């Protein structure tokens, strides 16, 4: 029997389902800003921004995942988050993330007159900065 007044949250990456559990609330980073979904939330579809998904009151306790690039579907009884990347803090390689940030800055510097290259580089910079901040506990 399903928990009443609990939200079923599924966090999906390309190769597996990371989380499929009942929680009290979930915080999600969208392009419009962070939002929190509770049981009974109005339906919503949003683009994920680089940030941290926070699960509150879950079966396995509170959890946090750094996420990037994807979508979230919110329905009154469930939330499905589909992203290219999702990692808990302990799985983030800080040195590798710093290299990614440095490379993104190089791409930005080489973008020339191409606004699409600038936008792509800025997105990579933001993803790396958010991941570093999360990994370092800021």
Mean pLDDT, all residues of the chain: 93
Which of 26, 25, 24, 21 has the alpha carbon at shortest distance from 10? 21
Burial of 121 (0-12, 13-18, 19+ CB in 10 A): buried
pLDDT in tens, 103-128: 999 999 999 889 999 999 999 999 99
Report the relative pairing of strands 25-30 and 78-87 from DSSP bridges: unpaired
pTM, two decimal places: 0.87
- 55 neighbors 19 (Cβ within 8 angstroms): yes
């Amino acid at each position: 029997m399903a928990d009443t007044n609990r939200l079923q949250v599924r966090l999906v990456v390309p190769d597996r389902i990371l989380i499929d559990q009942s929680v009290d609330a979930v915080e999600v980073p969208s392009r419009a800003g962070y939002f929190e979904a509770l049981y009974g939330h109005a339906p919503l579809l949003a683009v994920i921004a680089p940030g941290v998904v926070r699960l509150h009151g879950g079966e396995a306790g509170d959890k946090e995942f750094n996420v990037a690039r994807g979508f979230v579907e919110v329905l009154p009884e469930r939330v499905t988050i589909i992203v290219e990347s999702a990692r808990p803090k302990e799985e983030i390689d800080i040195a590798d993330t710093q290299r990614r940030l440095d490379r993104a800055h190089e791409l930005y510097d080489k973008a020339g007159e191409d606004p699409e290259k600038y936008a792509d580089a800025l997105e990579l910079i933001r993803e790396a900065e958010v991941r570093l901040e999360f990994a370092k506990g800021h």
